[in-house]
Every structure is written in structure tokens, then in C-alpha cells.
Amino acid sequence: MRRSYLLRAAVLATVASFATPALLSPSAYAGSGTMVSVTKVAQNAPFAKPGPYVAGVTTIKLDDRSVEVWYPANKSSAKGKKKDSYYLRDWLPQGIKDLLDAKGVNPPFKTDAYRALPVAKGAFPLLVFSHGAGGYRDQSTFLTTHLATWGFVVASPDFLERGIASQLGGAPTTPKANLDVYDETVAKIREVNAAPKGLLRGHIKTKKIGVLGHSAGARGSIEIAASRDDVIAYAPLAGAGSGGTRGTVTIPAILPPSKPNIFIAGNQDGVIPIAGIQTYFDDVVAPKRGVWVEGSGHLTAFSDICEIGKGGGGIVAIARQAGLPVPENLARLGEDGCKPPALKASTTWPVTRHFTTALFLYAFKINKKPIGLNVKAAEAFAPKVTATYTQTLR
């Protein structure tokens, strides 16, 4: 029997509110008690706040690229330690980095992870994150670090073939297919897990894997889930597996697998419009879940990018501050959802954090019931964020 549940939560704040500091930050959602809505989030969307661990982070190397790995660590091990930061321009072609150096432009993004902390006792399920076109392996640390606090190891390789350097003329000379990058990443994770010594040794469960990704990485996560038997659940963010054409190239549609999933998309996405994602979602075989976020563009609820640089805005804002020309394709990919009428990115992050965490906790049977996968969870983020939740379980 088909069961569908649909929620339309409260009305968004007016456009004028974008100019005020009244929007909730992730720390407020984590339970500071400063707003009434925090109580609703804590009760009905409990995975919006950090979990029982802190996130550690390390970098491992493949033959031609790097993989960032976040993992659970004990909170006590982070005392007195500084949070890890990254610099978006580290993924740029050398010539552009040199221009930014000359202009003195070098804004860091502080993540919620601590580098090289000891891993917490035990072994934890593995998730693999795929970044989007014009992205980089650290692009969504707001989410990857959060998943680590809830007991997951999250591996995020650089998909150089579609990364930010590739968009600026720095594509790899020997490109690899999406599935090959995934396979090499998982093989390396299994290798370091089985090594006689090392930070991650013995701490990763690799028999069953979850995948998630943003934009082109959302499509990639669907492809991986459809092609690899060890993948048990997937979470496409701001993307789908639809077919189409790009110039003279025909892009085939990907038949979505019948595995637990959650699709999350924004209604202000100008890169991959939500209507196309919802059309694809309609054809996904149950069980399936979807969350549609009002006030989110392509980047808003799904990446760090809008929060990078003075006043936010990511690489596009950085380049413009430095007086550098911005290619149209990069501008479109790099700032969609980073300015009004889109919501502030950090206001929307708790929605994505909660629903992806809830899915994987349930898929891996850490939660025996689908806690937080319901209409009340979506409603908990109102009035600051309006979310629509839908599911068809059989």
C-alpha cells in the first residue's frame, strides 16, 4: 500500500530579515536555548545538533588525489586544541593562486573538526561524500563534520575531473570515471583500516557503505548506489540522476536503486531547478524520502561556500574582491544561493544535517526506528526555515 506524507511548514520571514542578525545560527539549533524554536528542534529534529562525539580529521593520499576523512573522536581529546581550517584557493590552479597571493586575498574557513585527534573507541560505519562540479573535497564540512559527531567515518575524495580547478582550465591529464574514484577511495579506506598501525586502524566498518553527494555529486551518489552492492543507502543533495544533453553530449538517465534514500533540494536553485529533481524523485522506487527547502539555492543548504570570505560568497566573492575576472560558468556554479533572496546558509544547514544524519542512523540500524524522518521534524525548523517533507515507503 502506498503511503505519502506531505508537510508545508510556516511562512518564511520577509526579505528584510536577511539584513538582520536575527536568523538562527547552527549553535542556536544545537541547543543554546535562546529561541523557542530550539525546543522544537531538540524534540522533533534531534540530529540537527552535534552528536556525542567531536569530529577528528585526517588526509589520506591516493595515487593522483587526496581524500579527506572525518571520524568520531572523544570530546575530551579536543580540549585545548584549535579547530581545523582550510583555504578554498588551495584547490585552484597555481596561476590563479599566485594572483590571489599578490592581492593578499586568503580567507580561511574554520571547520568543526580537529586535525589528527585519536579516534574514539570502537568501529564506525563508512560514508563516502561526492562534491559537485566546481567543488572540492572540503566543500561541505558543515555536514561531513556533523556526521562524524554522530558516529560515522566520512571519506570525501577530490573528483578532479569536475572540481574547481577543472572549471578553470586545470583538469587532470588522465581523467577517471566517477565509479573508479569511488572504488579507489573505498579500497584505500579498507587498506588503512587493515594496516598494522595508523590513526584509523581497526576503526572503520566497511562491509556496508552509505553515499551522499551534492549537485553532480548527487548524481554520482545515485550512480554509485545503483552500481555497488555494498552501498545500502544514499542521499542526493541538490541533484538527481536525470538524463539530458549538454551541447552535443547526451547524458543518460540513471535508474535509481530501491535502497533507503533521502533527496534534499532548494526551491531557489538556479543551477538544477527543484522541479526537475522532484520529477526524478517521483519515479524513484520506494522506499523514498524527500525534503524541499524554501529559501535555499544550489549552494545554500548544501555547502560551506556561501560562508567563505568577507561577507560570505565563496570563490566568486573572493575573486571579485581581488579584481579578478570570473568566468560565467564558475559564477553560476559558485554563488547560486549565496545572496538574498536566499536565506543565510548557516540558517539552513541544520535541516540538511538532521535529515541526512537521521537517514543513515536508520539505514545502518543504529536507530531501530526512523527517528526524525517525519513531518514533525520538518515543521520544527519553522518559522526560520520552511521545509516540505514527503515520503513513500512502499
Q: For residue 15, is pLDDT > 60? A: no
> Is the sign of the CA dihedral 36, 39, 44, 49 positive or negative?
positive
Is residue 371 very low, low, confident or very high in pLDDT (cuts 50, 70, 90)? very high
Task: Read off the pLDDT of residues 273-284 as tens digits, 9 standing for 90 and up.
Answer: 999 999 999 999
Q: Given the DSSP bridges, would you call strands 249-251 and 244-246 parallel, antiparallel or unpaired? A: antiparallel
Q: What is the CATH number of the domain that holds 179?
A: 3.40.50.1820
Report pLDDT for 134: 87
Q: Residue 17: is it exposed, middle or buried by C-beta count within 10 angstroms (0-12/13-18/19+)?
A: middle
pLDDT at 38: 62
Query: What pTM did the predictor assign?
Result: 0.88
**Domain containing residue 192:** 4-392
Q: What is the pLDDT of residue 171?
A: 82
pLDDT of residue 10 exceeding 50:
no
Q: What integer pLDDT is reported at residue 90 of this predicted model?
A: 86
Q: How many CB atoms lie within 10 A of CB 230?
A: 12
Judged against a pLDDT cut of 90, whether residue 200 lies above it is answered with yes
Domain count along the chain: 1
Q: What percent of the chain has pLDDT over 90?
A: 70
**Binning pLDDT at 50, 70 and 90, where does residue 314 land?**
low
Residue 191 pLDDT exceeds 50: yes
For residue 311, what pLDDT band results from cuts at 50, 70 and 90? low
- Please name the helix (run of DSSP H) or strand (run of DSSP E) that holds residue 375, with its range, or none: helix 375-379
Tell me: pLDDT of 19 over 70. no
For 251-268, what is the mean pLDDT? Answer: 95
**Measured distance CA(394)–CA(391) in Å, rounded:** 9
Task: Tell which wins on pLDDT, 102 or 14.
Answer: 102
